[in-house]
A and B are shown apart, each in its own frame.
Chain A
Amino acid sequence: MKESGLYIHVPFCEHKCIYCDFYSIITTGKVRDYIDALKREITYYQPLYSESRFFSSIFFGGGTPSILAPDLIAEIIGALYQSYTISGDAEITMETNPGTVDESKLRAFKLAGINRVSVGIQSFNDADLKFLTRVHDSQTAINTIHTLRECGFENINLDLIFNLPGQTLEAWTKNLEEAVKLPVQHISAYSLILERGTILYKMQVEKKVVISDDDFDAELYRETISFLSDNGFEQYEVSNFAKPGYQCRHNNHYWQYRDYLSFGTSAHSFMNGKRWWNNSALTFYLRSMKNTGHARSGEEIITPDEMHDEYIMLALRNSGIDTNDYISKFGSGWLIAKQPEFDKLLSAGFMKNTEGRLQMTASGYAVCDEIIKRLL
C-alpha cells in the first residue's frame, strides 16, 4: 500500500495581500459551482488512484479556505472519504486567516473533521500587518489561537514572515517570543519572498520599499533557528519548525517524495512519477471540469535523472538524505562519487551526519540552494 496525500485548493480570499502570488479571487459568487466541480474532480480520479494506496493527509490550502462555510468543507471531506482510502488517523489541515473565523465556525470545522489548523498570522506587529494589507490585527490573531485551543484543536501552526521592510532584529525577535507563548505546536517562518507580479514586487521596483539585503536576512534567519530550537521547536525543513511529533505529515509527503493528488484551481499532483497541474483561473477550471471532467492544463513525466535531483533537493531542504532510503531507491554510485564533496560540507559544519542521515545544520540551511547546486 502506497502512502499519499490529498490537497484541496480553495482560491477565494476576502482581498489580495500585497506579497501574495497564489491564485486567488475575491468573488465568492461561484462558490457553489466550485464545490460541485471539486466533487466531480474527486470522483474523476477515483478509478485511477484508489487502489493499493491510502491517504494519510488532507490539506485545505488557499486562498483562504476558512472563508468557506463549514458544511462545504464537510461536503468535500465526505466526497474524499467516499472515493479514497483514508487512514483512520489522517492529518486534516485547514489554512485559516484570523478574522475570518469565530468560535462557532471553528467548532463546526472541527466537527467536519479538521484536526490541524494553520493560521496565517505573519506578524504580531500591527504596523507590519497594515503594511502587508492583512485584514486582521495582532490581538485578533492571538485571540484566534486561544479560541482554537478552546475548541479542542491540539495541532496548530502559525505562519510568520521575516525581513519585512524596516523590520529590526529586535522587532522580529519579539514576534518569535510572542509566537512561542501561544499554545502552538508548529511554526512556519518564511523570509519574505519577492514574487514577480505581486504588488510588493512593483513597490520594490519603484523603490517605494527597501528590502534588507541577504546578510541581514541571514542574521534574522539564524536568530529564528536558534530561538525556536531553544524553545522546543525543532527545525525539520528550511522554514518549518515543530515540537516533537508535530511535523506536518502532509508537507512531509511533498518533501519525502511521496505521491500527492490535488484538486482545484492550479493544483499540482504527483502520482507514479507523473506530475500535472490544473488550470489556474477559476472560469477556465469550471469550464474545463464541465466539458472534460478534469482540468489538467499541463503535465510532465519525471525522468529518472530528474527524480534523483528532485529527491536530493527536497531531502536536503527537509530532514536530510536518509542514506538507506536513498540507496534503496537510486543505488550508491552517486553518494560514493560525491563523498569528497560531502566530507568538505561536513567538516565545514554546513552538514552533519546523524545515524546515516546527511542533514543540514543551521548554517547549511541558510545556504541550502548553494549546497544543492554544488552537489548536483
Chain B
Amino acid sequence: MNKLRNFCIIAHIDHGKSTIADRLLERTGTVSKRDLVSQVLDDMDLERERGITIKSHAIQMHYLAQDKETYTLNLIDTPGHVDFTYEVSRSLAACEGALLIVDASQGVEAQTISNLYLAIEAGLDIIPVLNKIDLPSAEVDRIKHQVIELLGCADEDIVLASAKSGIGIDEILEAIVKKIPPPTGDVTNPLQALIFDSVFDVYRGAIALIRIKNGTLREKDKIRFFAHDNVYEAEEVGILGMKRTRTGVLCAGDVGYVVGGIKDVHDTKVGDTITTVKNGTTEQLPGYKVVKPMVFSGLFPTETEAYEGLRDSLDKFKLNDSALVFQPETSAALGFGFRCGFLGLLHMEIVQERLYREFNQAIITTLPNVEYIVHKTNGKQVKIDNPADMPQLGDIDHIDEPYVRAQIVTPSEYVGNIMKLATEKRGVYINTTYIDETRADIQYEFPLSEIIFDFYDKLKSTTRGYASLDYELIEYRESDLVRLDIHLNGEPVDALSMIVHRSKSYDWGRKVCDKLKDLIPRQMFDIAIQAAISTKIISRTSVKALRKNVLAKCYGGDISRKRKLLEKQKEGKKRMKQVGNVEIPQEAFLAVLQID
C-alpha cells in the first residue's frame, strides 16, 4: 500500500487537464504514443468536441520513480464545469491528493478556486502545477504569485510544466510520489468500498467503480450495499487500466471495479458503500451530498408516437448519468413528455444533444426554470418546478426562490461591466477581493433563475471572454414573482408559461410577444399573441394572416416538382406543433432564451 497513490486533477476549463493526463499516461507507458488519441480520458465525442470532461474516469499507471521503486498511481479524472461540481466531489473522495493545474497565461479562475476549496475540504494534499509555461503569453512569475497567495505554498512547491511540450512531466510524477501520502486502511478489516462512479455495460450490467477504504474484496464474495437490501456476488473484480483488467482481488487503498450481474443501475448508487455479507461492517462511509437538479425543463417528442421511445432513451441515459431526473409530464400544448431536472444549462444542452446523437430522438425543450417554494394562503407549502403547476394567484401567500453565491474572477478593468450586468440580474453585491493587482474576485448573490439562461454568455461578452464564473446554491428567499402566461388566439399555451420577477414582467411580456411574432410563421388566420399575468393582459401583438402563398404556374412539366415540394413541406410541418388553430415551430418554445 506504501507504493500506491490515488490522485485527481483539478483545473479550470481549458487549463490543460486532459493534456497533462495524456502525458502522464504516455510517460508511464500506460499507453503508447501511437495509440494515444489526443485526450484519452475524454472518451465521449461530445467531450472532445467541447473540450470539457463530463463524466469522471479512472485509470491506473505504473511509475518507476527516482528512488528505484515502482509505484502504482490511480488517476481519477474530474470534470471542470460549474454544472458538474458534484462529479468533482465524488472523485475527490476516492483520492489522497490532487494536482491543481493553473494556466500560466490565464491564471487563477473561478473554478480553480472553487475546486481547490472542495479538495482542501476533502482533506487532500495539493500539488500546484503551472501549465503552458512555454507559451509566449505565459506570465510565470505573476501567476506563481497568484497561486502562492491562494494556497499559501512555497515558491518551490509549484511545478512548472508544459504538457504540450512535455516539460515538467517527470517533476509532476515525482511530486505525486513524494507529496501525496499513500492510502491508509487495513486489508484485514471488514470491507468498506466507496462507489465513486458507475457505468452501464449492456452485457455485464451495472458496474461499480470503487475505492476500497478498508478490507479486501475477492471474486465470489457475496456483497451487500448499504442503500438497499439486494445481495450480489462479486463475479469479476479488477483494476482500471486502459481497459478493465481482471485481478480477482482488490485491497484497501485500491481503485477498481466490481461486476455483479447488477441489472438495475440504481443499485450501484454513487456514494454508497459496499461491504461483504460475511464478516461485513455496519459502518457506512460518508456518502456524497445527494445531487439535486437545479434546472428543470420539459422534454417532448416532436412526434407523439415517439413518447415510449423517448422514455426508453431517458432510462438508458440515466444509467450513465445519475444526475438526470425525469418524470412524465402532460402538456395541453405539447402532449405527453417528461419533466426533467438538470444540474445546469450546460447539462441540459448535453443531455439534449446526446439524446439526439445517441438515441436519435428529436425533442422539443421548453424554457428551463428553477424550483420554487410556494407558500399558500392555507399555510401549506408546495415545491413547483413547472410554471404550469403554479397555484391560482389568490391561493398564493408568497413565493421563495433559490439564491446562489456566485464567484466571478475577472481582470479588474471589467469590474464595472460586471456590476452593471449583475444589477440587471437582481444581483446582491457581497464583496470584492483582489487575487493580485490585476485580478478581482467578486462575490455576488443572485437568484438562480437569473443566471441559468444567458448570464454566462453575457458575462463572457461583457469581459471579452476573460471572466470566469462559479456558483453554489445557498438558500431560498422570498421574491415578488409572478407567472407570465402566453396566449395564442386567446388560448393559454402552457408550455410557454414562465415565472418572472414582477419588476421585469412587463418588459419580458413585451419581448416574448415580439420574439414569438418573429418566430411563428404567418398562417391562414391572424394570430393574436398576448402576454398575461393571471387574467390581466400586459402585452399584445399579432402575426398577420398570410395573404399570398400560391405558385403561379403548374403545367404538365411542373406537377412532379410541385408534388415533391409539397412532400418536403409536409415533413417540415411535422416539426411544428399544432396548438388550437396555430402551428408553432419548435424553436418558439425556447424563444425567451433568444431575448437580449
Chain A residues within 8 Å of B, Cβ to Cβ: 7, 190-193, 214-215, 217-219, 221, 238-239, 251, 254-255, 260, 262, 266-270, 275, 277, 300, 306, 309-310, 313-314, 317, 344, 348, 350, 365-374, 376
Q: Given A193-B553, A348-B524, A376-B570, answer yes or no on A310-B547 (Cβ-Cβ < 8 Å).
A: no
A238 touches B552 (CB 8 A): yes
B569 sits at the interface (CB 8 A): yes
In the assembled complex, which residues on chain A have CB atoms less than 8 Å from the CB atom of B556?
7, 254, 260, 262, 268-270
A254 touches B552 (CB 8 A): no
Closest chain A residue to B560 by CB distance?
A: A275
B394 sits at the interface (CB 8 A): no
| B303 CB to nearest chain A CB (Å) | 17
In the assembled complex, which residues on chain B have CB atoms less than 8 Å from the CB atom of A365?
550
Contact of A374 among B524, B552, B555 (CB under 8 A): B524
In the assembled complex, which residues on chain A have CB atoms less than 8 Å from the CB atom of B552?
190-193, 238-239
B549-569 contacts to A, CB under 8 A, are 549-557, 559-560, 562-563, 566-567, 569
Please measure, in the bound complex, the distance between the C-alpha atom of A219 and the C-alpha atom of B548, giving whole angstroms: 9
B547 touches A218 (CB 8 A): yes
A348 touches B560 (CB 8 A): no
Closest chain A residue to B563 by CB distance?
A: A310
B566 touches A376 (CB 8 A): yes
B557 touches A314 (CB 8 A): no
B466 sits at the interface (CB 8 A): no
B525 sits at the interface (CB 8 A): yes
| B146 CB to nearest chain A CB (Å) | 54
Please measure, in the bound complex, the distance between the C-alpha atom of A245 and the C-alpha atom of B555, giving whole angstroms: 20
Closest chain B residue to A191 by CB distance?
A: B552
Chain B residues within 8 Å of A, Cβ to Cβ: 523-525, 546-557, 559-560, 562-563, 566-567, 569-570, 573, 581
In the assembled complex, which residues on chain A have CB atoms less than 8 Å from the CB atom of B547?
214-215, 218-219, 366-367
A215 touches B548 (CB 8 A): yes
Closest chain A residue to B551 by CB distance?
A: A369
B563 touches A369 (CB 8 A): no
26 A-B pairs with CB atoms under 8 Å apart are: A190-B552, A190-B553, A191-B552, A193-B553, A214-B546, A214-B549, A218-B548, A239-B553, A254-B556, A255-B554, A262-B556, A313-B563, A314-B559, A317-B550, A348-B525, A350-B524, A365-B550, A366-B548, A367-B524, A367-B549, A368-B550, A369-B551, A370-B523, A371-B524, A372-B566, A374-B524
Closest chain A residue to B565 by CB distance?
A: A369
Q: Given A270-B556, A367-B548, answer yes or no on A373-B569 (Cβ-Cβ < 8 Å).
A: yes
Closest chain B residue to A192 by CB distance?
A: B552
A300 touches B560 (CB 8 A): yes
B524 touches A275 (CB 8 A): no
Greatest chain A CB density within 10 A among B523, B525, B552, B557 is at B557
A267 touches B557 (CB 8 A): yes
Q: Given A268-B557, A370-B524, answer yes or no on A193-B573 (Cβ-Cβ < 8 Å).
A: no
Please measure, in the bound complex, the distance between the C-alpha atom of A181 and the C-alpha atom of B566, giving whole angstroms: 38
Extra pairs beyond A367-B550, A369-B549 (18, CB < 8 Å): A190-B552, A266-B557, A267-B557, A268-B557, A268-B560, A269-B556, A275-B560, A309-B567, A314-B554, A317-B550, A344-B581, A350-B524, A367-B546, A367-B547, A367-B548, A368-B549, A370-B523, A370-B546
In the assembled complex, which residues on chain B have CB atoms less than 8 Å from the CB atom of A372?
566
In the assembled complex, which residues on chain A have CB atoms less than 8 Å from the CB atom of B548?
191, 214-215, 217-218, 221, 366-367
Contact of A310 among B555, B557, B559, B569 (CB under 8 A): B559
In the assembled complex, which residues on chain B have CB atoms less than 8 Å from the CB atom of A313?
554, 562-563, 566
| A348 CB to nearest chain B CB (Å) | 7
Closest chain B residue to A345 by CB distance?
A: B524
Please measure, in the bound complex, the distance between the C-alpha atom of A369 and the C-alpha atom of B566, giving whole angstroms: 8
Closest chain A residue to B547 by CB distance?
A: A218
Please measure, in the bound complex, the distance between the C-alpha atom of A310 and the C-alpha atom of B525, giving whole angstroms: 25
Cβ-closest 5 pairs across A and B: A218-B547, A218-B548, A268-B557, A368-B550, A190-B552
Please measure, in the bound complex, the distance between the C-alpha atom of A7 and the C-alpha atom of B566, giving whole angstroms: 26
In the assembled complex, which residues on chain B have CB atoms less than 8 Å from the CB atom of A371?
524
In the assembled complex, which residues on chain A have CB atoms less than 8 Å from the CB atom of B567?
309
In the assembled complex, which residues on chain A have CB atoms less than 8 Å from the CB atom of B562?
313
A251 touches B555 (CB 8 A): yes
In the assembled complex, which residues on chain B have CB atoms less than 8 Å from the CB atom of A310?
559, 563
| A308 CB to nearest chain B CB (Å) | 10
Closest chain B residue to A268 by CB distance?
A: B557
Please measure, in the bound complex, the distance between the C-alpha atom of A251 and the C-alpha atom of B559, giving whole angstroms: 12
Please measure, in the bound complex, the distance between the C-alpha atom of A374 and the C-alpha atom of B583, giving whole angstroms: 10
B563 touches A306 (CB 8 A): yes
In the assembled complex, which residues on chain B have CB atoms less than 8 Å from the CB atom of A193?
551-553
| B392 CB to nearest chain A CB (Å) | 33
Please measure, in the bound complex, the distance between the C-alpha atom of A373 and the C-alpha atom of B340, giving whole angstroms: 34
B557 touches A277 (CB 8 A): yes
Contact of B550 among A260, A262, A309, A369 (CB under 8 A): A369
Closest chain A residue to B562 by CB distance?
A: A313
Closest chain B residue to A350 by CB distance?
A: B524
Please measure, in the bound complex, the distance between the C-alpha atom of A189 and the C-alpha atom of B553, giving whole angstroms: 10
Closest chain A residue to B557 by CB distance?
A: A268
In the assembled complex, which residues on chain B have CB atoms less than 8 Å from the CB atom of A221?
548
Please measure, in the bound complex, the distance between the C-alpha atom of A238 and the C-alpha atom of B525, giving whole angstroms: 20
Closest chain A residue to B554 by CB distance?
A: A317
In the assembled complex, which residues on chain B have CB atoms less than 8 Å from the CB atom of A366?
547-550
A370 touches B549 (CB 8 A): yes
Please measure, in the bound complex, the distance between the C-alpha atom of A373 and the C-alpha atom of B546, giving whole angstroms: 14
| B126 CB to nearest chain A CB (Å) | 61
Greatest chain A CB density within 10 A among B551, B552, B556, B569 is at B556
In the assembled complex, which residues on chain B have CB atoms less than 8 Å from the CB atom of A300?
560
A254 touches B555 (CB 8 A): yes
Please measure, in the bound complex, the distance between the C-alpha atom of A7 and the C-alpha atom of B556, giving whole angstroms: 9
| A272 CB to nearest chain B CB (Å) | 15
| A195 CB to nearest chain B CB (Å) | 10
Please measure, in the bound complex, the distance between the C-alpha atom of A5 and the C-alpha atom of B103, giving whole angstroms: 78
| B36 CB to nearest chain A CB (Å) | 49
Contact of B559 among A219, A239, A275 (CB under 8 A): A275
Please measure, in the bound complex, the distance between the C-alpha atom of A277 and the C-alpha atom of B556, giving whole angstroms: 10
